[in-house]
């Protein structure tokens, strides 16, 4: 088949592209920036913005299936930017599918679409959308997920996957941020409880997308449904973060901050940033405070049953691979600095 992968140059998207190519599929990636490293794998790369409906339609021409992975993630920024990319962009993807008669759409959603600020322990896909959200990202992703699932019908089969805390080698967001903050000694555990959370190694998340694609068809059991995707290994969030820190030889987190204090600090900083138009991002927000001080792990029985999903890479094996990748990256940096005559 020929697949379009929006966000094909991103962290998860590029792994999906690689896995599709490895099994012999033709792939076209769609991203806002150039990604020659992905093109070098054999993918056709198109540059464009999800907010540009014509660009999306052009990229989808001739494809059999769309993996809509691209999104604006984050915990801060104008609502309009999140809405334009996550909601309007998704509408453009659906319109492109209909225009070109593409009958399958695999949408990358997020478990945060069901997060209401309280503990989520072993919840399944019956968990409802909350009445309000603490950040623009989960709100707009929930709107987009609803649009995708409601679009499922006789001419287009859709499915939504909700991978939680994707990590692994090449991650440009979560891993570098944790390691940077850990080196600076600014990481804190929030609340008194262990707060177990789920995560998913990036290759496992990509595998789930291919499994869904292969089982998706109009009228199929998975059409019009959403699925949580994790490693199935919930652990205290501090333990998970300390494992990540250990891959870079960074000392573990030892300090704790009351959850209520972190939430109040987040509310205060949000207000200050909005009132005074401060640049950048608050060090903590209400959403982050709730995410770090609550449990959120999910029942993946449905994904195992309906998709045949089995996490192939355990957390410990993933951490070993991450440590190896980080070690190679440091060696490369030292080599480059030495060649440039920099005192390392």
Please list the active-site residues. Answer: 137
- Which pLDDT belongs to residue 192? 85
Whether 156 and 223 have beta carbons less than 8 Å apart is answered as no
6 token code pair: 């929006």
- Which pLDDT belongs to residue 342? 31
11 token code pair: 């962290």
- Which pLDDT belongs to residue 341? 31
- Could you give the CA distance from residue 332 to residue 260 in angstroms, rounded to a whole number? 43
Series of mean pLDDT values for 10-residue runs along the chain (344 residues): 96 98 98 93 96 97 98 94 98 98 98 96 97 95 98 97 97 93 92 92 98 97 98 97 96 92 93 90 90 95 98 98 86 37 29
- Which pLDDT belongs to residue 8? 96
Q: E strand or H helix at 44, and its extent?
A: strand 44-47
What is the pTM for the complete model shown?
Answer: 0.93
Q: E strand or H helix at 172, and its extent?
A: none
Residue 342: C-alpha distances to residues 178, 260, 328, 331, 333 (Å): 27, 46, 19, 14, 11
List, in order of start, the domains of the chain with CATH numbers.
2-170+199-232+296-313 (3.40.50.720)
- Which pLDDT belongs to residue 193? 83
- Could you give the CA distance from residue 267 to residue 157 in angstroms, rounded to a whole number? 41
- Which pLDDT belongs to residue 328? 72
């Amino acid at each position: 088949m020929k697949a379009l992968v929006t966000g094909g140059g991103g962290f998860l998207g590029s792994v999906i592209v690689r896995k599709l190519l490895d099994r012999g599929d033709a792939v076209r990636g769609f991203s806002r920036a150039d990604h020659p490293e992905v093109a070098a794998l054999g993918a056709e790369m198109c540059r464009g913005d999800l907010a540009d409906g014509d660009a999306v339609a052009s990229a989808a021409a001739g494809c059999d299936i769309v993996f809509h992975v691209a999104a604006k993630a984050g915990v801060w920024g104008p609502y309009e930017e999140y809405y334009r990319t996550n909601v309007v962009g998704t509408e453009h993807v659906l319109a492109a599918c209909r225009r070109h008669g593409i009958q399958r759409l695999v949408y990358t959603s997020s478990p945060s679409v069901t997060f209401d600020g309280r503990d989520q322990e072993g919840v399944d896909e019956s968990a409802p959308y909350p009445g309000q959200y603490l950040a623009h990202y989960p709100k707009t992703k929930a709107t987009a997920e609803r649009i995708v699932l409601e679009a499922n019908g006789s001419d287009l089969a859709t499915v939504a996957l909700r991978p939680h805390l994707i990590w692994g080698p090449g991650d440009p967001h979560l891993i570098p941020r944790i390691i940077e903050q850990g080196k600076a000694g600014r990481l804190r555990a929030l609340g008194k409880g262990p707060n177990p959370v789920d995560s998913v190694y990036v290759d496992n998340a990509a595998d789930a997308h291919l499994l869904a694609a292969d089982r998706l068809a109009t009228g199929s059991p998975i059409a019009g449904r959403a699925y949580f995707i994790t490693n199935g290994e919930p652990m205290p969030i501090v333990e998970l973060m300390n494992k990540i820190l250990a891959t870079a030889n960074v000392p573990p987190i030892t300090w704790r901050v009351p959850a209520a204090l972190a939430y109040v600090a987040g509310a205060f900083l949000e207000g200050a940033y909005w009132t005074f138009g401060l640049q950048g991002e608050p060090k903590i927000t209400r959403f982050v405070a709730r995410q770090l001080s609550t449990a959120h792990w999910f029942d993946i029985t449905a994904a195992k049953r309906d998709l045949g999903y089995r996490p192939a890479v355990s957390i410990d094996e993933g951490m070993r691979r991450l440590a190896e990748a980080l070690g190679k990256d440091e060696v490369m940096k030292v080599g480059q600095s030495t060649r440039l005559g920099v005192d390392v």
